[in-house]
Amino acid sequence: MSTEFHWGTATASYQIEGAWLKDGKGLSIWDAFSHTPGKIHKGDTGDTACDHYHLYEKDVEMMAELGITSYRFSIAWSRIIPDGKGEINPEGIAFYNRLIDCLLAKGITPFVTLYHWDLPLTLQLENDGWLSEQTSEHFRRYAKTCFDAFGDRVQHWITFNENWCTAVLGYGTGNFAPGRKSNDEPYIAAHNLLLAHGMAVQEFREGGYPGQIGISNNCDWREPLTDSKEDRNAAQESIEFFFAWLTDPVIFGDYPAIMRERLGDRLPTFTQSQKALLKGSTDFIGLNHYTTHYASRTPSEESSVDAKDGNGGMSDDQQVSLSSDPDWQRTSMGWYVVPWGFRKMLNWIHDRYANYPIYVTENGCSVEADSREAAVDDEFRANFLRGYTDALKQARDVDGVPVRGYFCWSLMDNFEWTRGYDMRFGIVYVDFESMERTPKASYHAYREIVAADRAIS
Ligand code: GBH
């Protein structure tokens, strides 16, 4: 391979850092949400999480020993600008400087996500968060602050993580912060998130910062349940509602036609200048991929998945019904393990967007375990990673899809949002009492996967 392939692990600020009130950090909507009784399993919060804020050197050391080339992490906006819009907090900048310098000293390339869901709480209280374009303007300034502070050393930027989750789970089902429930707000929130992306990329490009900037969107694969035209259309449209909704605008400058057709005025419209701002506003496509479902136009007998779950409550808009194969293995989140769906997903992206470089910015699984001994013996996860990275290599080497990186979610067990600490996604076990880290079998398996591919590339 001529271009370097990035093999890495991924994390996110709220899920690992802890230190929620340390060194001038402001509150985020996840601080408020997790402290609201009833929102999170067992009342868990990210107050301490993995205490990565204090233990980052140890964590970077584990990555160096893993032999990865790259690490994807996110910056907590409320550490950099505590109220999201006012004073800059030098201690917040200093923390990420320490982390970035430590990574570079070990030869690990940082991939930095600017927004992984932890909006400064003040912007929620004053502007209703992503329902207002004001928030997008504040994001523009926050992004520029990060480019100025870290752009001399960071050359891979991701504006947003999974706007689908922010919009649908944050403003549709209300499962995630800020916890709003609505049929229309997801489309408004997504609109302002996309504009914020466009503004940040404009700052980046006009500022002449070196490197690449892109966005990470999540998408589960949708396989037509039957070969009928209806089911093939259902699967295609379902992916358009899931992925193209948030990716077409940053590449083509507008939403997919099927969404306009179904939603009419419920889907906001971009002005001509906003279209121009968004069109071509990404250097690469980030994909977070976890699972696969069958899609059909009409509910099938064997529907074992509540279509409303997988579609985030948007199944009426999509007119799609989801189901699964009883033979598919499931993770402890209940997500199906279907590596061939990953290969098809990568090909779908390549077909729709032509030659955009693709980074798989997340892929991984949770495995149930009630003791450290059981948790570190995670052959299930090792097999998951072998299966999914094999599928990626098929897409890359056989199908010719320009995949440039793979980041395993996650480096270590962490705060799994509404599921708290019970869902463990790490290749490293974390004891949340002692904060001790123990590599799992999958850590060693992943090291072998990475070493084998780096040897031939
Ligand atoms: C990611 O989101 C997040 O970026 C990360 O922070 C998180 O820790 C990680 O994944 C693990 O959850 O209910 O069967 O229909 C995951 C996005 C969207 C993937 C919904 C699974 C639904 C599966 N998820 N999708 S199902």
In tens, the pLDDT along 151-207 reads: 999 999 999 999 999 999 999 999 999 999 999 999 999 999 999 999 999 999 999
Q: What does DSSP assign to residue 240?
A: I
Between CA 51 and CA 59, with CA 53 as vertex, the angle to 5 degrees is 75
Please state the separation of Cα 413 from the chain's center in Å: 16
Asked, as a colleague might, if the bond just before 410 is cis with ω within 30 of 0, I would say yes
Query: How does pLDDT run across 90-123, given as a tens digit for each residue?
Result: 999 999 999 999 999 999 999 999 999 999 999 9
Give the rounded percent of residues in the chain with a pLDDT score beyond 70.
97
* Closest atom, ligand 1, to C-alpha of 311: 15
Q: For CA atoms 182, 187, 190, 195, give the dihedral sign.
A: negative
Using the structure block, give the residue that is written with the tokens 């230190």. 19
pLDDT for res 456:
86
Q: Contact at 8 Å (CB) between 306 and 238? A: no
pLDDT for res 310:
75
Query: How does pLDDT run across 249-290, given as a tens digit for each residue?
Result: 999 999 999 999 999 999 999 999 999 999 999 999 999 999
Burial of 373 (0-12, 13-18, 19+ CB in 10 A): exposed
Taking CA atoms only, the protein residue closest to ligand 1 atom 13 is 310
Tell me the angle at which helices 379-393 and 339-353 cross, rounded to the nearest 10 degrees: 30
pLDDT for res 299:
83
Ligand 1 first shell, C-beta below 6 A = 12, 161-162, 165, 218, 220, 288, 290-291, 309-310, 334-335, 362, 409, 416, 425
Taking CA atoms only, the protein residue closest to ligand 1 atom 6 is 12
H or E element, residue 169: none
Asked, as a colleague might, if the bond just before 178 is cis with ω within 30 of 0, I would say yes
Instruction: Determine which one of 17, 162, 223, 416 is catalytic.
Output: 162
pLDDT for res 302:
63
Centre of ligand 1 to C-alpha 207, Å, is 34
Taking CA atoms only, the protein residue closest to ligand 1 atom 11 is 416
Centre of ligand 1 to C-alpha 56, Å, is 25
Dihedral over alpha carbons 177, 292, 250, 229 (to 10 degrees) = -130
In the residue annotation, 162 being an active-site residue is answered as yes
Centre of ligand 1 to C-alpha 290, Å, is 7
pLDDT for res 306:
59
pLDDT for res 350:
98
DSSP string, 364-388: ------SSHHHHH--HHHHHHHHHH
What is the rounded distance in angstroms from the CA atom of residue 446 to the CA atom of residue 363?
12
Q: How far is CA 185 from CA 134, 168, 170, 177, 181, in A?
A: 16, 8, 9, 13, 8
At 59 the three-state DSSP class reads helix
In whole numbers, what is the pLDDT of the chain averaged over residues? 96
Q: Contact at 8 Å (CB) between 163 and 217? A: yes
Q: Which parts of the chain have pLDDT scores under 50?
A: 1-2
pLDDT for res 1:
41
Using the structure block, give the residue that is written with the tokens 């067992």. 42
Domains and CATH numbers, the chain: 6-456 (3.20.20.80)
